[in-house]
Amino acid sequence: MQTMLGTTGGSRDLERNVETVAEALRHTLRAVAEESIGATLRPTKLATHLSLDKSLVSRLVRSLRADSSADLIHHVPSPTGLGMFLQAAESAGVSPQRCGEARRAVDDFRTLLEQMPGGRSSLEAWIARGTTDVRQRAEHTAKQAVYRAMSHLLGFHCETVLSALILQPSADGNAVDGIEVSQRTAVRRLRPDTPVALFSIDLTTAHGEGPRPRLEPLEPGADPADPGSYLVPSFCDPEMPQVDIHRDAAHHVFALSDRFGSVHHPVTITSAMMIRNGWIQRRSDLQIEDQRNYLLHYPCRLVVRDLYLREDLYVGAEPEVRWEFPAPGAAPRSVAQTLPTQLNSLDIWTPIENLGRGPARWPVPKLPVHAQLVRHAFERSGWQSERFRGYRARVVYPVPMILMGWKIPLPV
C-alpha cells in the first residue's frame, strides 16, 4: 500500500487500512488472550500466566478495551512486544492456529508502520487529527520528551511559569495600558556557566502608529532603569535575586545574573510591570487583532497564563491562544490570520477557561500563589478587579523556544 497523505484519496485509503489492521488486531489478540486465561482479561493474571512483564500486558489489555480503532492503535504494544506475547502464549498452550492468525495481524501492523514516513509517531500524529483523547495523550508524551531533551541541551529548566496580563483603556482613551505579573518557580542551572534569560518585552509600536509604548515598574516612584524595580521581593526566593536587563532598541531581555541559580539552589523570580500604550483599542485597515506573545525561554513542567480585560475594553471579543514559530528579527508584527501567519503556527491543544468577572475564580488548584500575585497587581495599581473578565490557559509541558500568544480580535 502506498500512503499519500497529501491527497484526499490517500488519506481515505490510510483510514480504511488503519481500521482494517486495528480490528484484525482486536479480534485475533483477544482470542489468544481469552484462550490463555478466559473471557475476563485481567493484566496481573495474564502476566503471571504467561510470565511476561506486567507493563507490556497492561498496555495490551488497555488496547483491547479501547472504544475505537484509533485508541487501539495508540495503546497497542509494538510489533516486537506483540511477538513476545504470542510466543509466550503459544508456549503456554494456546493453539498454533490461533497464534498464527494473530501473527498475520501483527505482520500487517508492522507493514503499516513501515509504510508510514516516520513510523509510529507519524501514524499517531495522523490519527490524532480527529480524535481528541488520542491527540492529547500523544501530544503530552511528545511534549514531555521535549522537556527532557531541551533541559539537557539548554542546561537549565524550571518547575512552573505563572502569569497574568491585565488590560484597560489608557488614560487618554486612545490606547491600552497593561499590567503584567509573572512568576518562574525553581529555576535551576544544570551547568554553572549557562546563561538564563527569564523573560523579554518588545516595545515596538504596531506599524509605527499611535503613542509610543513604555515600560514602568508597578511600584510608584521606582527607577525604570533599575532591573530590581521590576521584581516583587516578597514573592521571590531568595528575596532579591540579581537580574540584568539587556536592551536592543525596543527589545528588553531580563536575564538571571551569573551567580544565581544552580541544581541545589533553585531561584524563584517574580516580576511585575506596567506597560503603557502597549496595545490599540480598535481595528484598522492594517490590523484586525492585537496580541501579547510570550517566548518561553526554558523548559518547564507547567504554564498558567491569565488574561483580564476591563468590561469596557474589546467588548464581545473572545481571545484565543496561538503557538507560533519566532519570526526573524526584521519581520513585521503579525496583524491578522493571513496565510503566512497560519503557516507559522504550531497546532498545540490549548483549551481556554472563561473565569467570568471578579476574583472568585482566580485561584489555581495547588498553586495558591497565583491568586495572590493577581491580587497584588490589582492592589498596587488601584485598578478595580470587579470590572474585569478573565480567561485562563493552562498548559502542561509547554514547548520551549516557541511563542505562546494571546490573540484578541479588535472591534470596529
Give tens-digit pLDDT for 67-94.
888 889 888 999 999 999 999 999 999 9
How high is the pLDDT of residue 205?
Answer: 52
CA atoms within 13 A on the CB side of 14: 22
CB 291 within 8 A of CB 305: no
In the predicted structure, residue 339 carries a pLDDT above the cut 60: no
Higher pLDDT, 9 or 270: 270
Alpha-carbon distance 269 to 238, whole Å? 8
CA proximity to 396, closest of 134, 160, 152, 125: 160
Higher pLDDT, 68 or 250: 68
Q: Give the DSSP H/E element, type plus range, for residue 24.
A: helix 8-37
DSSP one-letter code for 398:
P
DSSP one-letter string for 283-294? --SS-SEEEEEE
Reported as a single tens digit per residue, the pLDDT across 38-59 is 999 999 999 999 999 999 999 9
Higher pLDDT, 373 or 192: 373
How high is the pLDDT of residue 264?
Answer: 86
How many residues are given for the chain? 412
Which residues, listed in sequence order, are joined to residue 109 by a DSSP beta bridge?
Answer: none
How high is the pLDDT of residue 255?
Answer: 85
Alpha-carbon distance 220 to 213, whole Å? 18
* Over residues 385-396, mean pLDDT: 96
State the Rg of the chain over Cα. 26
290: its cell numbers: 492585537
Domains of the chain, residue spans:
8-130, 143-409
CA proximity to 405, closest of 281, 273, 294: 294
Higher pLDDT, 381 or 261: 381
How high is the pLDDT of residue 3?
Answer: 37
357: its cell numbers: 468577572
Higher pLDDT, 249 or 375: 375
Q: pLDDT grade, residue 7 (50/70/90)?
A: very low
Q: pLDDT grade, residue 394 (50/70/90)?
A: very high
Alpha-carbon distance 69 to 47, whole Å? 24
* Over residues 169-176, mean pLDDT: 89
Alpha-carbon distance 344 to 304, whole Å? 23
How high is the pLDDT of residue 242?
Answer: 82
74: its cell numbers: 495508540
Alpha-carbon distance 170 to 177, whole Å? 5
307: its cell numbers: 488574561
How high is the pLDDT of residue 382?
Answer: 94
In the predicted structure, residue 334 carries a pLDDT above the cut 80: no
How high is the pLDDT of residue 204?
Answer: 63
**Percent of the chain residues past pLDDT 90, beyond the cut:** 55
How high is the pLDDT of residue 109?
Answer: 95
CA proximity to 179, closest of 193, 196, 158, 165: 165
CB 73 within 8 A of CB 94: no
Alpha-carbon distance 204 to 206, whole Å? 6
**Percent of the chain residues past pLDDT 70, beyond the cut:** 89
* Over residues 356-373, mean pLDDT: 95
Amino acid at 323: W
- Angle, CA 175 vertex, CA 173 and CA 181 arms, to 5°: 115
* Over residues 363-376, mean pLDDT: 95
* Over residues 251-267, mean pLDDT: 82
How high is the pLDDT of residue 355?
Answer: 96
Reported as a single tens digit per residue, the pLDDT across 273-288 is 999 999 998 888 778 8
Span of 261-270, 282-291, 347-356 with lowest mean pLDDT = 282-291
* Over residues 262-283, mean pLDDT: 90
How high is the pLDDT of residue 180?
Answer: 96
Alpha-carbon distance 58 to 33, whole Å? 12
Alpha-carbon distance 410 to 52, whole Å? 59
* Over residues 243-252, mean pLDDT: 77
| Average pLDDT over all residues of the chain | 86
In the predicted structure, residue 144 carries a pLDDT above the cut 60: yes
How high is the pLDDT of residue 4?
Answer: 37
The set of residues, in sequence order, having a beta carbon less than 8 Å from that of 38 and lying 6+ positions away, is none
Where does residue 277 rank: exposed (0-12), middle (13-18), buried (19+ CB within 10 A)? buried
* Over residues 213-223, mean pLDDT: 89
